[in-house]
Structure 1
Amino acid sequence: MDFLERVLLPIADKLNNNRYLSALRDGFMVALPLIIFGSIFVVIANFPFLDKFLSEDAYAAYQNALGPASAATLSIMGIFVIIGIGYKLTEHYGVDAIYGGVVALAAFLILTPQVLEGVSGVIPTSSIGAEGMFLGIFTAFISAELYRFFVQKNLTIKMPAGVPGAVSRSFSALIPITLTLSVFLVIRIIFSYTPFDTVQNFIYTVIQQPLTVLGSGLPATLIAVLLIQIFWFFGLHGQIIINSVFDPIWYALNDENLQAFQAGTELPNIVTKQFIDTFLVGMGGSGMTLAVVILIFMIGKSRQLKELGKLGGPAGIFNVNEPIIFGLPIIMNPIIIIPWLIAPVVVTIITYYAMSIGLVPPPAGIIVPWTTPPILSGFLATGNAWQGAVLQMFNIIVVGIIWWPFLKVLDKNYYENEAKGE
């Protein structure tokens, strides 16, 4: 614990306060309502057994009618994330944030190929979806930094005092936006003379593809899960810290699965954003503490645990577990560090191999709101497959078995202290 405190806590603190990771996290939060909207209609469009009750033409017409909901949100989610990152990073510097968002989007579009199967002036949705996500993130960071640099150097047009505020701000942004976008235009021209042809091809080949392959594997996932638990143990929000780093990878993998699910082809990835959010966090919050709440009602004798169960139970159903984390407590509690670290790792391994051997379908790329109760979330995330719900139930049992002896010891300590009047 001394080693972890000396080494990991400073790293976690720097990650948590890093302006780029904060902008990245908040950028995804800007896009989240739109992503969830699109996911809801993917579920409705692919409702189980509906194709058995409708004719082939009627079912196709039904899906075509609902298709634009996901095409206008999930398929182009990169656009919303880019605007969100540019906005939040510019806001961090105290500069007019809306221009940071739009200049980030414009810079990204300048770098994006606008040719599809020989037809110019057309942007493939893959370029503004998963495939273009990493380019969008880097572009948003760089463009926001350039824009605020030019603004803070006072390279702006000053309008007279009587000019309306909206007009004045627009002219003030003109020179910084022009200089920023000119930089990206030059970059595009330079890359057109390289073997990669476009910046997007370069980013995807050199950076995104290797990182995505790494992030989709079990070892990297286990490291991420373990770090989430360690950070939480020391009172730091491990989910926010680790998600800031892994979300671009997990969302890209998620989008690949969604495209395959909608096309009716084999899902390419097991580890995705919904793998983490549904089968780990989505079972009572970080550490899957819904099983702990159930155990408290089953074996708890101490007044402290019984009251904690009543408080944490309703919230835990919707994956909010702060009452358990701070009330048990989990933070800096040596009695429960072993189940707190081991249970998520074991469940991650079980879930991964259950999906890899075909017992359970991988997540279909549908973004299920993180507050969706377990069982229902497993059903929805796997494309309305009952196996997803069963796997969640099994995992809850596994977590309960791992926690049982340690929670028994903790409950006994609390009960004896209460009997002594301490």
Structure 2
Amino acid sequence: MNGFIDKLSEKLLPIAGKLGQNKYLLVLRDAFMLAFPITMFGSLVVVINNLPFFSDEMKGTLGTLFGSGQNATMSILTIFVTFGIGYYLSKTHDVDPVYGGAVSLASYLILTPFVTTLESGEVVSGVLTLDRLGAKGMFVGMIAAFLAGEIYSRITKKGIVIKMPDGVPTAVSKSFAAMIPAILTLSVFTIVNAIVTGAFNTNLHDFVYNVIQQPLTGLGSGLPATLIAVFFVQLLWFFGLHGQIIVNSVMDPIWNTLMLDNLEAYEAGKELPNIVTKSFMEMYTVGMGGSGSTLIVVILMAFVMKSRQMKDVGRLALAPGIFNVNEPVIFGMPLVLNASIFIPWLLAPLVTTTLNYIVMDLGIFPIPTGVSVPWTVPVFFNGMLATNSVMGGVLQLIDMAIIGLIWFPFLKVVDKANLRSVDLSTAE
């Protein structure tokens, strides 16, 4: 086992290290984190407006009164993400990030059709629809923001700017310096939009959605791709790398888009289209004690195992584990490069993820509604909030029981080894 792990480590660590330091993935991660507080507010509004003990009439009234809280946040999430991409990408080029963010956002809006067709067939111009600014526009927004950020930054770095004399206020000087790069960048996107609209009688939103976004989200929402993502999260953590950050930097755009699709369907009273979403991945993997769902493992260590080492680590890790922070047990047990617990560490999340997908697909347990719940909310409560049902929390408790059963024999082996080593040292 140790030889296999050493060989795997030699192959995997360089790849994971490069992926974790990729500039564009880091920018994308930071852009989503920029939108996180706004998303959280929108989620709270949705939860309050749709509490399960409210009548349909009450929910309708609350939606009328407070629905703008969601419409102005989660429903237009792409706006905040595109600005964030432009901002952080410009920052990596040492270019004024605020103007980079503004140009990226404007480039995305240039590609967005200001027209919609009503159910009656009437075409209304001069309007932006929420679906274009939310889940449906997410991929075209990210593509536009990255391209706009690169073009703007490179033009600026080449010195193609208007330089104002000394003594001019800084705000004015920066505005003039950004003028030519902004005009050139926005011109590129205006020409592209004109070509697509004029020559192909469509828009980039519909093209990207049909050709790129739908196939990718379809792949990301399936069980095989989800299990692969979970597998690599666990494997990377085993080698001491933050698997959650590395894998999420690749998968978050897909999972967030699927989450927004669910939220839109939930708000419209329709059937939820996706099982796997950002909420699913957080509540049913991280939401039960951190990566690997280790809260039950910590409980077993603290109160069932007999060796002093296991008890001490378990009790120290219990309080953080309740709030889904499990670094104390990952590095305190340790779980990192510990061949004796490699199998349960890798296997348990794969088993529960498969179970959760199946029972949700069969309609036995509810699917997460698309509401974003803070990852630090304790188990059961986060599952209940994510699904708007007590059964969402019950499923987590079932998961924890299964994880405990998988881990228990391996923990006992480690526990006995610890006790044996203590006995030997005492005898000496």
Tell me if both proteins adopt one fold, taking TM over 0.5 as the criterion: yes
- Equivalent pairs counted in the alignment come to 417
Higher alpha-carbon deviation: 22-31 or 89-98: 89-98
Query: In structure 1, what residue type is equivalent to 2:90?
Result: T
Residue 3 of structure 1, CA deviation: 3.9
SS in 2 for 1:116: strand
Q: Structure 2 unaligned segments of length 5 or more: list them.
A: 118-122
Following the alignment from structure 1 to structure 2, what is the Cα–Cα distance between the partners of residues 277 and 140? 26
1:98-148 per-residue CA deviation (whole Å, 9 max, x = no partner) reads 111111100000011110121111111101100110111111111111111
Is residue 101 of structure 2 the alignment partner of residue 132 of structure 1? no
Paired AA for residue 120 in structure 1: S
Contact 1:28 1:84 in 2 (8 A): yes
Question: Is 1:191 aligned to 2:179, yes or no?
Answer: no
Partners of 1:199 and 1:59 in 2: CA distance: 36
Q: Which residue of 2 aligns with 1:404?
A: 408
User: Structure 1's 59 and 277: CA in aligned 2 closer, same or farther, altered over 3 A?
Assistant: closer
Q: 2:418 aligns with which of 410, 414, 421?
A: 414
Q: 2:50 touches 2:59 (CA, 8 Å); kept in 1?
A: no
Q: Deviations over 1:369-421 (max 9, x none)?
A: 000100001111002x1110110000000001000011111122222223344
- Is 1:155–2:170 an aligned residue pair? no
* CA deviation after TM superposition for structure 1 residue 67, in Å: 0.7
Residue deviations 1:303-337, cap 9 Å, x none?
22211112110000000000011011111110011
Give the whole-Å Cα distance in 1 for the aligned partners of 2:63 and 2:205.
32
Contact 1:31 1:77 in 2 (8 A): yes
**Alignment of 1:394 onto 2:404:** no
C-alpha deviations, 1:314-363, integer Å up to 9, x for none?
00000000001101111111001100100000000010011001111110
> Aligned ranges for residues 67-78 of structure 1 at < 5 Å?
67-78=67-78
State how far apart, in whole Å, the 2-side matches of 1:214 and 1:106 are. Answer: 30
SS in 2 for 1:119: strand
Contact map agreement 1:196 1:202 (CA 8 A) in 2? no
Output the CA distance in 2 between the equivalents of 1:78 and 1:418: 57
Where 2:418 maps in the other structure, the secondary structure is: helix
Q: Is the 8 A contact 1:76 1:129 kept in 2?
A: yes
Structure 1 runs (4+) deviating above 6 angstroms are none
SS in 1 for 2:55: helix
In structure 1, runs of 5+ residues without a counterpart are none
* Cross-structure match for 1:299: 304
Work out the CA distance in 2 between the residues paired with 1:247 and 1:17.
16
Distance 1:59 1:212 in 2: 30
> 2:87 is paired with a residue of what secondary structure?
helix
> Taking structure 1 as reference, are residues 194 and 278 closer, same or farther at Cα in structure 2, changes over 3 Å only?
farther
Shift, 1:196, TM fit: 6.2
Partner of 1:93: 93
Aligned pairs for 1:39-78 within 5 A = 39-51=43-55, 56=57, 59-78=59-78
Identity of aligned residues (%): 52
Match of 2:243? 238
- Residues of 2 paired with 1:184 and 1:106: CA distance? 9
How does 1:319-358 map onto structure 2 within 5 Å?
Answer: 319-358=324-363
Show CA shifts across 1:224-246 (max 9, x none). 00011011111111111111111
Letter in 2 for 1:300: M
Q: Tell me, yes or no, if the aligned pair for 1:156 and 1:176 is still in contact at 8 Å.
A: yes
User: Does the CA-based 8 Å contact 1:188-1:199 persist in structure 2?
Assistant: yes
TM-score with structure 1 length normalisation? Answer: 0.96
Tell whether the 8 Å contact from 1:226 to 1:345 is kept in structure 2 after alignment: yes
Opposite residue 199 of structure 1, the aligned amino acid is L
Tell me the equivalent position of 2:120: none
Q: What's 1:280 paired with?
A: 285
Give the alignment partner of residue 14 of structure 2, picking from 10, 14, 19. Answer: 10
Supply the distance in 2 between the matched residues of 1:250 and 1:173 (Cα, whole angstroms).
Answer: 34
- Contact 2:279–2:370 (8 Å) recurs in 1: yes
SS at 1:192 equivalent: helix
Distance in structure 2 (CA, Å) of the matches to 1:62 and 1:17: 44
Q: 1:342 to 1:59 in 2, by over 3 A?
A: closer
- In structure 2, what is the Cα distance between the partners aligned to 1:196 and 1:303? 72
CA contact (8 A) 1:299 1:408 kept: no
Partner SS for 1:14:
helix
Partner AA of 2:411 in structure 1: L
Describe the SS at the equivalent of 2:355: helix
The amino acid across from 2:23 in the alignment is R
Look up the SS of the partner of 1:336 in the other structure. helix
